[in-house]
Amino acid sequence: MEITLKNVKKRYHQKTVLDIPDFHFFPGKIYGIIGPNGAGKSTLLKVIARLEELSEGEIFYQQQPFRKEILKTMTYLTQKPFLFSASVVENISYPLKFRKYKRDEIRFLVEKIISEFGIEHLAHQLATKLSGGEAQRVALARALIFKPQILLLDEPTSNMDPNSIEIIEKIILKYNHKKGKTILFITHNVAQAKRICDEVIYLENGIIVESGKAKDVIASPKSENLRRFLSLEYYVN
């Protein structure tokens, strides 16, 4: 699903934290959103997910103004995912129960995704007792099981070990190849952005300073700020 931002502004207490005059996110692509802390990355995903209201401007979904039905085809995965106090299987089943899938179908789909994510060993554990990285994996499985058109991921692999990161990156890439999905992915890891994103957006003070093909933006940044940001990232990762 295409997402269009027109004159989008978000302010908190008179301070503008997001200011995007015109931007299009196209289906079938993975967009990596990078930038320093406080740049407005999470706010961008939250306004698209309608978790925060815009102060000005409008966001269109497939060229249409927002309608409630859009929420059913969109998911926003927060940095610290919320899982409820029940087993991992119960958590992952929830979006399907909510959508009134049949019991057999739920069992089939949940088993399939649990094996795809390599989390068989967690299936019957209490979700609230999982480690940060395990919880992120379960939350992503729960987010993907109902096949949303728009996937908004806020640093989804930040607490994961390298092995889990590899699994998740493969899953996201595969998911993207299913027609028409739009994926926005906030990451602190520039190497990761290069690995999985088609396009990269560099945000600073709520403004898109640079955007374009991931390889181009990362290999030859135009602005001095992005150049500095990338060289610092090099030392962090």
Ligand X SMILES: Nc1ncnc2c1ncn2[C@@H]1O[C@H](COP(=O)(O)OP(=O)(O)O)[C@@H](O)[C@H]1O
* Site for ligand X, rule CB under 6 A: 12, 17, 35, 37-43
CB of 128 to ligand X, least distance (A): 24
CB of 3 to ligand X, least distance (A): 17
Of Mg ion, ligand X, none, which one sits near residue 37, judging by CB under 5 to 8 A according to partner kind? Answer: ligand X
149 sits near Mg ion (criterion: CB under 5 A)? no
Of ligand X, Mg ion, none, which one sits near residue 40, judging by CB under 5 to 8 A according to partner kind? Answer: ligand X
Q: Virtual CA dihedral for 48, 155, 219, 198, nearest 10 degrees?
A: -50
42 sits near Mg ion (criterion: CB under 5 A)? yes
Q: Which amino acid is residue 27, in one-letter code?
A: P
User: Measured between alpha carbons, how far is 149 from 232 in angstroms, rounded to an integer?
Assistant: 34
* Whether the Cβ atoms of residue 168 and residue 140 lie closer than 8 Å to each other: yes
Q: Are strands 56-61 and 182-186 parallel, antiparallel or unpaired?
A: unpaired
Nearer to Mg ion, 42 or 75 (CB): 42
Question: Which span sits near Mg ion by CB under 5 A: 1-9, 37-45, 67-75, 202-210?
Answer: 37-45
User: Measured between alpha carbons, how far is 211 from 185 in angstroms, rounded to an integer?
Assistant: 14
CB of 78 to ligand X, least distance (A): 11
Nearest to 48 by CA among 20, 76, 87, 85: 76
Which residue lies nearest Mg ion, judged by its C-beta?
Answer: 42
Q: Virtual CA dihedral for 76, 116, 190, 157, nearest 10 degrees?
A: 60
Kindly state the number of chain residues that form the binding site for Mg ion, as judged by CB under 5 A: 1
In the complex, which residues of this chain contact Mg ion (CB under 5 A)? Answer: 42
